[in-house]
Structure 1
């Protein structure tokens, strides 16, 4: 052994660095086990094979039926042999696991189990990364919300969202450490897995402009673009028809269960319920919310924290989206915790998300002919749709209040500025739009220089 590569005490230093995160990793493991057990009536009881029982037992997942729906059972390769309605990050994982389980008895069940194992690892990694980010804010135990949130246990293994969450959080950990290109690489991998993390470019751009840290933003964009192209280009060149299915499907699909647009259409609201205007309404409403967030970012007397704007833009994207699946709660939990770690509104939101989780499956039972008595009415279901939208709006209102009045921000009450912000932390402002009076400007606290 080369002595220059080993120093006494190194292992102890590593142990001390890792030790604080072990309890949270164990909590995340417990959360994953609980989520797996929640699916027991389907995984072990066969409810997946009954269109009613899987809903009455609240154990539905997308993963198991996709073994057949995506023709994996026939040995077809995603995109090449059959078009897949997911980005290539997920399609590639489907293919790898398909190769592993081919030839086993009950390959569909094995496909589910191995996918869940990967998602469980993603949850543990995501919780540890969130703990590292929370530690910067001097609140490492906030990550326990992600490990054991009630809605997470219910929705963790419906789809592949936890993998994307771990990648997105990793990107922000890299940003906080000023590894901007790496942040872009991880964000590019996240976008190649689920498309929603692309919205985080907005907050990075706004705050980089305000603090004149544009080179950091450009390095991140470069990393994202290079990575996304590198991952997608082989499929685009060799299996374009299969590759474009995700984007065509996303543009063509109508208002789906859970979205506010679905409510407007089912209730036949004038204008808002017009299916022909759906895409325009979604884009315009999201654009207006983003414009409001931009105004807030440039006019707030104290520059908003990065996680505050990330939460706001992601919440806006979810509320205005034409699809709002139950597992989308997994997108928002880490950013809600980093933006405003206050347990009361978080718990209220979690209750609303859990109510929606149970309501959607009972609603799907109730619309099946002959099962009306087993399900719930559409009126009851819509209370759940609006419940989670309104609780997210409440969370957003508190975040906006914290931005406008930083003395209410529990992170900044400890004398911190933007500990997850990397180059933004403590940076002086260079581009600010002042809408208040000169007297108010004199009294306003400045962003730390």
Structure 2
């Protein structure tokens, strides 16, 4: 069936996209700045955060993680379980993310300055993601550039870093210039996804999807070449995580393990916004360490099982079609991870939106998920405000939060199937041109072939 081609926007339209992206990032920054100063008279800090929804992990970690001391993270960092803390410049993120935070903290000396600088960098990252999505899908990039997540979360955390790496990986897999060198295509895509995993773990799953594509696509390649290309994808995916972790593990094993222990001991509380806490009330709110460990084990097992199921379905589809739906598989893996993991933070929607762009997902699905996310955002902060001022009765905010949490979860489960059944929205391109065959050459002429994910 011929693939639909999305119209490519002109330079003026692309400029408009970039300007809008910067405006939304600026809105995100302005909405977070109030939390970098004292609360207004008559309000506690908790009430101020809840009323203005100005929380940002960027500013909030400045003092507790000693970022102002500008210490190299993961070296001489300390972890304590009672209370759960990380000190010495070490943060609860993979090492490349910690190094990025350390580097961007160096020029500033306050939480406010750190937030502003981080937002400026986020604007650059968001523009880069937008332009890459334009290249991949044309006007569909508006889904990323003109929807609420950037305004809500661009300056919330550092999630645009793995988002950029993810889109770079998709670009590497679908760029015409790499079509004639599959091992380079798979290696660069693996490198991009692996770099994303060194910022936030989730893109490492996408390496598995392209490894399956390298092994299972029926395109006339001999087995040895398939294995070599799969090895290039796997090697590229592991290179940056190894380079970013091994030196720290050798220098200070305890400091390197500190964020791992922190995440393992992190309670599945209300702020994790996951179905594990909200679905297992009242036991999940009891503070019982044994029950917390069981929830962590359950969420880990559910995530692993979900990932294996998606990969198994991907293998079946690849064997049936002769072409691996690696892009659809990557999106489904992400949906499984988000719904099964013990944490489903608000800003994770930024991970998902690029897949709404590069896959032909119905607009109703996109709209429904963004509305559910908005309900979770408004419900969470407003319910925190009501709690901070002593409101104990059930409010509309609690109902909105419930709609957001369970709406997101139900939609993610459905999206696993929707993604696997969808078609790529990446614009068509042709095989590289081959020189004309000699008269005595019986080989058939080259044909233009559209990319298939």
Gap runs ≥5 in structure 2: 1-8, 77-87, 179-184, 219-225, 285-289, 433-450
> Deviation at 1:381?
2.8
Gap runs ≥5 in structure 1: 1-15, 135-139, 403-408, 424-446
Q: Tell me whether 150-159 or 81-90 shows the greater mean CA deviation.
A: 81-90
- 1:78, 1:94 within 8 Å by CA — same for their partners in 2? no
Match of 1:22 in 2: 15
Q: Deviations over 1:307-338 (max 9, x none)?
A: 21111000001100001110011111101221
Match of 1:73 in 2: 68
> Deviation at 1:376?
5.5
Question: Counterparts in 2 of 1:114-263, with a 5 A limit?
Answer: 114-134=117-137, 140-177=138-175, 178=178, 179-211=185-217, 213-256=226-269, 257-263=272-278
> Deviation at 1:127?
1.3
What is the number of residues matched between the two proteins?
A: 387
- 1:142, 1:341 within 8 Å by CA — same for their partners in 2? no
Q: State the SS of the aligned residue for 1:77.
A: coil
> Deviation at 1:142?
1.1
Q: Deviations over 1:170-217 (max 9, x none)?
A: 122122233332323322221111111111122223333321644333
Q: In 1, distance between residues paired with 2:33 and 2:115?
A: 12
TM-score, scaled relative to structure 2: 0.76
Match of 1:37 in 2: 30
> Deviation at 1:411?
4.4
> Deviation at 1:369?
6.9
Q: Deviations over 1:83-104 (max 9, x none)?
A: 32122222212222332114xx
Q: State the SS of the aligned residue for 1:266.
A: coil
Q: In 1, distance between residues paired with 2:75 and 2:420?
A: 46
Q: In 1, distance between residues paired with 2:404 and 2:57?
A: 21
Q: In 1, distance between residues paired with 2:281 and 2:389?
A: 18
Q: State the SS of the aligned residue for 1:192.
A: helix
Q: In 2, distance between residues paired with 1:167 and 1:400?
A: 22
> Deviation at 1:41?
4.0
> Deviation at 1:163?
1.4
- 1:346, 1:395 within 8 Å by CA — same for their partners in 2? no
Please, what is the CA RMSD of the aligned residues?
3.2
- 2:209, 2:329 within 8 Å by CA — same for their partners in 1? yes
User: Taking structure 1 as reference, are residues 49 and 71 closer, same or farther at Cα in structure 2, changes over 3 Å only?
Assistant: farther
Match of 2:315 in 1: 298
Q: In 2, distance between residues paired with 1:98 and 1:49?
A: 28
Q: In 1, distance between residues paired with 2:16 and 2:186?
A: 29
- 2:299, 2:340 within 8 Å by CA — same for their partners in 1? yes
Question: Counterparts in 2 of 1:50-61, with a 5 A limit?
Answer: 50-61=45-56
Q: In 1, distance between residues paired with 2:70 and 2:195?
A: 26
Match 2:101 to one of 70, 87, 94: 94
Match of 2:111 in 1: 108
> Deviation at 1:168?
1.8
User: Taking structure 1 as reference, are residues 133 and 285 closer, same or farther at Cα in structure 2, changes over 3 Å only?
Assistant: same
Q: In 1, distance between residues paired with 2:371 and 2:397?
A: 20
Q: In 2, distance between residues paired with 1:56 and 1:208?
A: 51
Match 2:58 to one of 55, 63, 66: 63
- 1:98, 1:111 within 8 Å by CA — same for their partners in 2? yes
Q: Deviations over 1:251-270 (max 9, x none)?
A: 2223243111111332449x
Matched, 1:266 2:288: no
Q: Tell me whether 184-193 or 362-371 shows the greater mean CA deviation.
A: 362-371
- 2:58, 2:156 within 8 Å by CA — same for their partners in 1? yes
TM-score, scaled relative to structure 1: 0.77
Q: In 1, distance between residues paired with 2:170 and 2:196?
A: 12
Q: Deviations over 1:347-386 (max 9, x none)?
A: 1111111111111212333444724469667565323210
- 1:86, 1:246 within 8 Å by CA — same for their partners in 2? yes
Q: State the SS of the aligned residue for 2:268.
A: coil
Q: Deviations over 1:405-440 (max 9, x none)?
A: xxxx4749x9x6xx79x99xxxxxxxxxxxxxxxxx
- 1:27, 1:144 within 8 Å by CA — same for their partners in 2? no
Q: Tell me whether 58-67 or 313-322 shows the greater mean CA deviation.
A: 58-67
Q: In 2, distance between residues paired with 1:381 and 1:401?
A: 30
User: Taking structure 1 as reference, are residues 330 and 278 closer, same or farther at Cα in structure 2, changes over 3 Å only?
Assistant: same
